[in-house]
Structure 1
Amino acid sequence: MLEIKDVRAGYGAINVLWDVSLSVPQGQLTTIVGPNGAGKTTLLRAIMGLIPLTQGSISFEGRPLGGASTWDLLGQGIAMIPEGRMVFKDMSIEENLMLGAYPKSRRAGAKANCEKAYALFPRLKERRTQLAGTLSGGEAQMLAMGRGLMSDPHLLIIDEPSLGLAPVIVNELFDVLAQLKKEGRTIVLVEQNTHKAVGVADHVHLMQGGKIQFSQAAADVDIEALHELYFAR
């Protein structure tokens, strides 16, 4: 579904990604793990058109994404849930959700998808009129995930959903990810919690120094061996 081939990208004169190649199969959850500074978020930004490629190509459902505007990708079926939640604090929970279905091609199903988001996160339904700025970190992450699902995306990209959250909330979020995977969603998950990430994934890629250093089916991953590479022991 998503094909990344020999990609180089970065910020101005600073290159971060070095010849990155990976495939994301349809209907599966692909996780990318790695230490801070490995290039994980930069890769997601390159997919979303937030930074230009200096080499290589990215295609989605057989169509090249090079040159596509970030704001057009949602209409093409790609949604990203960014690190740090980034909810609109002065808007209600429901208003935040409805913004996830902003493209004209996604508006017809907005009400039905809103109810699906509430079914996944009942806490949001209870507080649908509450301002997003009053939510806890865990609740804001639930809102960000619900908003990402509002366009019924073909590809859902999630960046560090567990960052800074209590273990009980992390467990809830990963239960939702497992449910979405069971429904056949195609998901790219960037995550530092290797145990959780590998546990929910179909495929695992380890990034270090802007390169893919390890790729394996999640069922075959030896966590201890992965950690040896992760920490470059």
Structure 2
Amino acid sequence: MMVDNQRGTLRLFLEALNSTTPCPRLLASDWCTPTMTSNFTRLAFEDQAWTLSSGFTTLDFVRKFLVLGGPLGNQILSHFVSGRLLDYLVKLRGDDEIWDNKHLQYNLEAFASVVRRSDAAVAYLFELDNIFAVCAMFIIWKDIPHLRLLAQLCPDHPVWTECLQKLDTIPEHFELSPQNREEILCTVSDFRLLFERGEPPMLNSRSTMSSLWQRLRRRRGDIGKELTGASKV
């Protein structure tokens, strides 16, 4: 019971930090010492090796640490790489494992938003199977804002050529229902067209969003309401 209470307190503390910009004045810029980082992660994950298939409470801590950044966020990014956690995505199969997996979606959104902080994490993400799987998840979830983040991250990376070709296999690779095939492939087609026009490198702000990105968003209706999770990252 004491551990549960401590984890609950830690969760509230992280929520307070993530909702306060900048950090409260009472906290020094280097408040998160190596010892504190170790204690927080040990408490959050109960000394267990977490993965993207872990339970809600564990993945909630993962997301909060990523959003917070600093030593805690860096440790999470490091574990993504050392544990090869994106392998889990490549092996997902079927609608039930993907469409309604909100905990996975929120954590991938957080990962995509902060991955540029770590060169090792970026290199890991841009392995062919990994960038294919992460792009596929955002396409399936109709998560255009985070798909756009991936396009902006390393627009000239050579892996994009093969990845963009492989995206046509999403419905078969992940064994999705036939009724979603057409919409998925339409999104893939528009996403590929962005690269063919050389647009992703120029997308540096909302004010310069290309007409194709706008079309992707409009086709999915009110994407802002649909992606309430994205606004939390």
> Which of the five TM-score ranges fits, normalised by the shorter chain?
under 0.3
Tell me the TM-score normalized by structure 2: 0.26
Tell me the TM-score normalized by structure 1: 0.26
Structure with higher RCO (Cα < 8 A, 6+ apart): 1
Larger Rg: 2
Structure with the larger strand share? 1
Structure with the larger helix share? 2
